[in-house]
Amino acid sequence: MTSVATAISLSARPGGATSTCSPDLAKGPWEFDAGEALRGAPAYGPGASSGDHAPSSTPRQGQLPQEYKDATEAELHERITAAKEKLGNRVVVMGHFYQRDEVVQHADFVGDSFQLANAALTRPDAEAIVFCGVHFMAETADILSREDQAVILPNLAAGCSMADMADIDSVEQAWAQLEDLFGTEPDADGRVPVIPVTYMNSSAALKGFCGEHGGIVCTSSNAGTVLEWAFERAQRVLFFPDQHLGRNTAKAMGVPLEQMPMWSPRKPLGGNDAATLQDSRVILWHGFCSVHKRFNVAQIEKARAEYPGVRVIVHPECPMEVVDAADEFGSTDYIRKAIAAATEPTVFAIGTEVNLVNRLGAQYPQHTVFCLDPVICPCSTMYRIHPGYLAWVLEGLVEGEVRNRIEVPPAVATTARVALERMLAARP
């Protein structure tokens, strides 16, 4: 099976057999770290989130030493393996499902963001947690891990463009307007007017905001349970940053679309009138994932025409009409389990990040598994965790140097932990 990285470099050559959303993807991520510094306008680099603007507060990755840029895939593999062997139980490597295969093969835990948050709790003995994922995941691991454990993000420029669509200032402004409108008094059933719910894909500051205001965190694998938790305590929910996860989850619970107004952060009352907000159940922040926005109904229709009986499963970050046209929707782990559980050879058309889809196809050769999007377009920020960076941080640990540590300030971590622990305790 060809890895996504190899497929990209093949297709970037003239006459290559497949197409990518950007031939620039064949370059090393360090080319863009340098490019951003020169241009002065940070963006997320080539790939599905390339058009998204990175806030100026986004950490910049310093230049990777040349030896790691020049090393072949095989050399990096050997160096990572050797460093991990030397470090033994002192280090634990986490890998999100969307990481490239060259990284995933070195991970001690591979999973979705909920599983990896739990996994961080299981290794209090490790001195360092190397998080091969994106910035908000490393922050979450830091919040949940012991104070003396170092959480390391191999490339500091691995952010999440969706997480950056809601910032603490805009959320605080929205909250002040909602409190003015609704007041803070509970109704006769003891439910407060509004509770904030943040998707795991958000900064630690927003998780802290939820902790402070009676709110909670959710992931794509527990969003329904978390919304039920919130509705038991509040008349309505302010859900950020992903409008699609919020809408798809609430719709599946029977909330009518008219009761899910969108909050546009730069407009008074988020662009709504007071009556609409009064009547709302879920106020959806205007955020989205550029990777999942690529999926559309025409792709599903084409898959059904070409493969009668195909099972179409999409991630809840996809737009509502895509989720409606699919057979099922669920988190990355839901998708993995659905394919693993199929007893008869089945054709699966999947709407999520291509690294995971291709890996599932290789793991379950009895099935046909393909990505609904015919273009190879990985999440460009996940893709920044190149094996060169992983080798660099691990060899740093061998030499006694902690590189790229992610540390959430204690005041934020305390309240963010409250919101995360509410999530970990919430049960269906």
Q: Which residues bind ligand SF4 (CB under 6 A)?
A: 49, 134, 160-162, 201, 289-291, 317, 353, 379, 381-382
Nearer to ligand 13P, 141 or 394 (CB): 141
Rounded distance between C-alpha atoms, residue 348 and residue 364, angstroms: 11
Structure token pair of residue 229:
């938790």
Rounded distance between C-alpha atoms, residue 63 and residue 27, angstroms: 15
**Residue 112 binding result from ligand 13P, ligand SF4, none, given CB thresholds of 5 to 8 Å by partner type:** ligand 13P
52 binds ligand 13P (CB under 6 A): no
**Residue 49 binding result from ligand 13P, ligand SF4, none, given CB thresholds of 5 to 8 Å by partner type:** ligand SF4
Nearer to ligand 13P, 32 or 114 (CB): 114
Nearer to ligand 13P, 356 or 393 (CB): 356
| Helix 4-11 with 354-363: angle, nearest 10 deg | 110
Q: How far is the CB of 248 from ligand 13P (least distance, A)?
A: 13
Q: How far is the CB of 291 from ligand SF4 (least distance, A)?
A: 4
Which member of 126, 289, 372, 385 binds ligand 13P (CB under 6 A)? 289
**Residue 395 binding result from ligand 13P, ligand SF4, none, given CB thresholds of 5 to 8 Å by partner type:** none
Nearer to ligand 13P, 234 or 360 (CB): 360
Write out the binding residues for ligand 13P, residues 54-113 only, by CB under 6 A. Answer: 112-113
From residue 111 to residue 130, the character string flagging contacts with ligand 13P as x (rule: CB under 6 A) and all else as - is: -xx-----------------
Tell me if residue 339 falls in helix, strand or coil.
helix
| Single-letter residue type at 365 | P
Q: How far is the CB of 111 from ligand 13P (least distance, A)?
A: 7
Rounded distance between C-alpha atoms, residue 236 and residue 334, angstroms: 27
Using an 8 Å Cβ cutoff, are 120 and 145 in contact?
A: yes
Q: Is 192 exposed, middle or buried (0-12, 13-18, 19+ CB in 10 A)?
A: middle
Burial readout 129-149 (b: 16 or more C-beta within 10 A, e: otherwise): bbbbbbbbbbbbbbbbbeeeb
Rounded distance between C-alpha atoms, residue 129 and residue 131, angstroms: 6
Q: How far is the CB of 317 from ligand 13P (least distance, A)?
A: 5
The pairing of strands 282-285 and 262-263 is parallel
Rounded distance between C-alpha atoms, residue 257 and residue 251, angstroms: 7
Output the residue with the shortest Cβ distance to ligand 13P. Answer: 112
Nearer to ligand 13P, 110 or 128 (CB): 110
From residue 191 to residue 220, the character string flagging contacts with ligand 13P as x (rule: CB under 6 A) and all else as - is: ----------x-----------------xx
Which member of 101, 317, 373, 395 binds ligand 13P (CB under 6 A)? 317
Rounded distance between C-alpha atoms, residue 315 and residue 350, angstroms: 8
Nearer to ligand 13P, 280 or 332 (CB): 332
Nearer to ligand SF4, 230 or 379 (CB): 379
Q: Is 193 exposed, middle or buried (0-12, 13-18, 19+ CB in 10 A)?
A: middle
Q: How far is the CB of 15 from ligand SF4 (least distance, A)?
A: 30
Nearer to ligand SF4, 191 or 293 (CB): 293
Instruction: DSSP letter for 312, please.
Output: E
Nearer to ligand SF4, 234 or 420 (CB): 420
Q: How far is the CB of 104 from ligand SF4 (least distance, A)?
A: 15
331 binds ligand 13P (CB under 6 A): yes
Using an 8 Å Cβ cutoff, are 368 and 347 in contact?
A: yes
What region, left, alpha or beta, does residue 45 occupy, with left being phi > 0 and alpha being psi -120 to 50 degrees? Answer: left
Other Cβ atoms closer than 10 A to 11:
18
Using an 8 Å Cβ cutoff, are 391 and 154 in contact?
A: no
Binding interface with ligand 13P (CB under 6 A): 112-113, 201, 219-220, 289, 317, 331-332
